[in-house]
Amino acid sequence: MKFDSPAAANPIDQLNVIGKPLDRVEGPLKVTGTAPYAYERHDVVPNQAYGHIIGAGIAKGRILSIDLAAAKAAPGVLAIVTADNAGKLAKGDHNIANLLGGPEIQHYHQAVAVVVAETFEQARAAALLIKVKYQPAKGAFDLAAVKDSAIKPKAGLAGESDTAVGDFDSAFTAAPVQLDATYTTPDQSHAMMEPHASIAAWDGDKLTLWTSNQMVGWAVADMAETLGIPKENIHISTPYIGGGFGGKLFLRADALFAALGARAANRPVKIALQRALMMNNTTHRAATIQRIRLGAGKDGRLTAIGHESWSGNLPKGDPETAVAQTRLLYAGANRMTSTRLSELNLPEGSSMRAPGEASGMMALEIAIDEMAEKLSLDPIEFRILNDTQVDPEKPERPFSKRQLTECLRTGAKRFGWDKRKSAPAHVHEGRWLIGMGVAAAFRNNLPMKSAARVKVDKRGIVTVETDMTDIGTGSYTILAQTAAEMLGVDPEDVIVRLGDSTFPVSCGSGGQFGANNSTSGVYAACTKLRELIAKKANVKPEDLAFDDGRVTAGASSWSLAELAGDEGLSAEDHIEYGDLSKKFQQSTFGAHFVEVGVDIYTGVTRVRRMLAVCACGRILNPKTARSQVIGAMTMGVGAALMEELAVDTRQGFFANHDLAGYEVPVHADLPHQEVIFLDETDPISSPMKAKGVGELGICGIAAAVANAIHNATGIRVRDYPITLDKLIDHLPAIS
C-alpha cells in the first residue's frame, strides 16, 4: 500500500480499540519469567555449549602472537576460534570495525578469540589461560586534543554536514544581544539490562540464530555478508529483547562468535557478552563539543542562529549529528550549522536513543535559556516568540503538525510556572535551594517501509506476523490493537508473532519509527485481508462493517470465522510513503518541566518534580506511550546528573565499564513523573495518524534539569554531567 494522502473513511478512526490504555499483552509472560529472552532459550536446540569472548588488551596496534596451548588443554574445551582459523570474513554494512580482530586491532576490547566449552565456567577459566602478545601503536583518545584536525564528514541520515541560510556572520555581528558559548557532552553507554546474547546452531550450511537484536532484516543481511553465505541460509529469532536503546540495532560480536564457535565445535553455542565488553566492545553515544552562537534584537526575536559540533569516531565512522534539531526548532533568518568529525581510536560511536538530538538539545536548550536571561525574557515566552510553522531552512515546506507553543503553554499551567522566581537562588527550604527549569523537546518522525502478514482462521482467531521487534516498547500490544480495530475483534482474539526472519520485513525498532510504521504495515495487510473477506462475501470492501467478530453488509451478516472457512484467509502487504517527507517536515514536539533541590552544603542535586507535555500524533496506547516517555525522561536525568563513560586517555578505553562505575538513575533518584499527551492526530504521517514518542522524552530533559539547577543556584554548568564537584565551590550562602 502506498500512503500519500489520508483515507476518507479510515477504520482506525473508529477508536474502539486504538487509543485505549490496554495492558501489555505479553505482560504476564514477563512478570512470571516465562518470556524467553535470547540467553534463556534452553529448549530451542539440545546440547548447547558455552562460549566466552576475549577482548583485545590494547586500543590500537597488532597481535604478534596468541598462545592457545594451555587453553586447549583445559577441562571441557571444545574449540577456540581466532582470526587464524575463523576462515574468510567480510564486514557487514552496519559495522565500522571488524567484529573479529586480528592481526590488526582497531579498538580496545575488540573481540580477538572465543573459547567454547561444555560449561560457562570452563569456557571462562580456559579463556583466562590464553596469552596474547601485542605491538601497541599510538592512538588518539581525547576529543578536545584532536578537535582542530577534524574533517567535514559526508552527508548522512541527518542531511548535509553543513547548512547555511542568509548571512549568519553579518547578522550575528550586528545583533544587539549576543550569546557565544561552548558546551560539552560525554561518551555515554546504552547500559541496557539484558546483555548482548545469542545462541547459534548449524544444520549443514544453514544457520539459526536466537539473539537479541532490534533490526532483524539488517542482522540477516550483515551476517550473510560477514560469513559469505546466502541470506536464505540464515534464520534469526528474537521475540523478546531486554532493552536496546540503539545498542542492538546492528550485528555484534556475540552473534558472530556464537556462529563461528558453533561451526568450529559442531555444537550449538550460546554467548552473552560480559558487561565490560558491552561498554568497550559494542557501540556507545559519542562525546561532543558544541559551540552555539545566538543573536537577537532587543525585541527578543532571533536574527542569527549558529551551531557547530565536533565529535569523534573510528576511521570511516559517522559523527554525532548534534546540530540536527537546530536546523528546525526555532525561526531566524540567518542560520548556520556545521558538523565536524575527528578520528579517535575509542570503541565505535553509533546510535543511542535519539542520536543527534539528545546530545544537541542538551546544549541548545541551555543556550536558549541563557539568551532569554540576557534579554530579560521569560524562557517560555522567548521560545514561543521564536516558534515557526515552516522549516526555517526551507520555508516552502510546512510542518505536517507542530504544537510546540501548545506544549509549553499547557505545561506552564500544569506545573505552576507562574510561581517560579526568575532571579536565581531566591527560593530555599531549609538546606535546599529550589529551582525550576524548562526545555523544548524535539525529535523527527521518520516514515519507513514496513510489511506484515495477517491471517484469520476458522475459529475467527487473527494472527499477525512481522519481523518487527519489541524492545520493551509495547509492540505486541499496539499491533494487536491495530488488527483488532481493523477486523472488529477483541484484542484477546489476536495473536501477535514478532522477531522472526521468516516473517515479512518490518521497519524494526529504532529512531522512534517503530510504532507508527509497524502498525501502518499491519494496517496495510488488514486492508488487503478486508478485500479478500469482501470478495468471499461477494460485496464491495467499502460496504463491509467489522464489529464484535462479525462482518456486516446491509442486512447480511456473517461471523468472521464463517467467512474464513476451514482453510482460513491470509493477506500480506506493506506500507510505503512516496515523497511525503519531501512535501512536509514531520516532527514531534514537547516541553519538559523540572523542579530540583540543590543541597547548599554538599551540592547534591535531587529532582523533585518532572512533567513532560508531548505532541506526537495519535497516541495508540496511552499506557505504553507513557511508559516510553518516563523511561526516556529517566535516561535524560541520568545524562544530566551522572552518566559518563570515563575515558582513559593514555590507554584508550572506558575505565568505568560496569554498572558499579557507570551510574544510571534508579527509583530512589526520581519522583513521580507526569506525562500529558496533547490531543493530536497527524493525517500526513501515516494511515494511523500517529508519530513516534519513545525518543522525544529524552530530547531536552537534561537541559531542563541544568536550567533548573541554574535557577536554584545561579550556577551555569555547560559541561555534562552536572556532578556536585562542579557546583560545590560556587554555591551561594543562605542569608
405 and 474 part of one domain: no
- 232 in any annotated domain: no
Q: What does the mean pLDDT of the chain come to?
A: 97
Backbone angles phi, psi at 621, to 5 degrees: -150, 105
612 and 704 part of one domain: yes
Q: How confident is the model at residue 6 (pLDDT cuts 50, 70, 90)?
A: confident
Q: What is the dihedral of CA 616, 621, 624, 630, to 10 degrees?
A: 40
The yes-or-no answer on residue 396 being catalytic is: no
- 705 in any annotated domain: yes
User: What's the domain range around 641?
Assistant: 398-444+584-730
Q: What is the pLDDT of residue 156?
A: 85
Annotated catalytic residue within 373, 576, 680, 695: 695
Q: Single out the residue in 576, 611, 644 at which a domain terminates.
A: 576
528 and 599 part of one domain: no
617 and 701 part of one domain: yes
Specify the number of domains making up the chain: 2
Q: What is the pLDDT of residue 735?
A: 64
569 and 693 part of one domain: no
- From the list 380, 412, 434, the residue with the least C-alpha distance to 714 is 434
437 and 562 part of one domain: no
Q: How confident is the model at residue 534 (pLDDT cuts 50, 70, 90)?
A: very high
Given a cut of 80, whether residue 109 has pLDDT beyond it is yes
Q: What is the pLDDT of residue 581?
A: 85
Backbone angles phi, psi at 198, to 5 degrees: -150, 150
pLDDT tens digits along 494-505: 999 999 999 999
Sheet with 494-497: list strands edge to edge: 494-497, 462-465, 450-456, 569-575
Given a cut of 90, whether residue 7 has pLDDT beyond it is no
Q: What percent of the chain has pLDDT over 90?
A: 97
Q: What percent of the chain has pLDDT over 70?
A: 99
624 and 714 part of one domain: yes
pLDDT tens digits along 137-166: 999 999 999 999 999 999 987 889 999 999
469 and 537 part of one domain: yes
CATH number for the domain including 427? 3.30.365.10
Q: What is the pLDDT of residue 5?
A: 74
Q: Which three cell numbers stand for residue 361?
A: 538539545
Q: Single out the residue in 576, 606, 631 at which a domain terminates.
A: 576
- 572 in any annotated domain: yes
- 685 in any annotated domain: yes
661 and 597 part of one domain: yes
Query: What is residue 500's DSSP assignment?
Result: B
- 263 in any annotated domain: no
600 and 625 part of one domain: yes
pLDDT tens digits along 588-630: 999 999 999 999 999 999 999 999 999 999 999 999 999 999 9
Q: Are 484 and 611 in contact (CB under 8 A)?
A: no
Q: Report d(CA 727, CA 716) in Å as an integer.
A: 9
pTM of the model: 0.97
538 and 657 part of one domain: no
- 219 in any annotated domain: no
716 and 603 part of one domain: yes
Given a cut of 90, whether residue 558 has pLDDT beyond it is yes
- 325 in any annotated domain: no
Across the range 693-710, mean pLDDT stands at 98
Across the range 650-659, mean pLDDT stands at 96
Q: Single out the residue in 576, 606, 627 at which a domain terminates.
A: 576
- 555 in any annotated domain: yes
pLDDT tens digits along 234-252: 999 999 999 999 999 999 9
DSSP string, 426-488: --EETTEEEEEEEEEEEEE-----EEEEEEE-TT--EEEE-S---SSS-HHHHHHHHHHHHHT
pLDDT tens digits along 402-414: 999 999 999 999 9
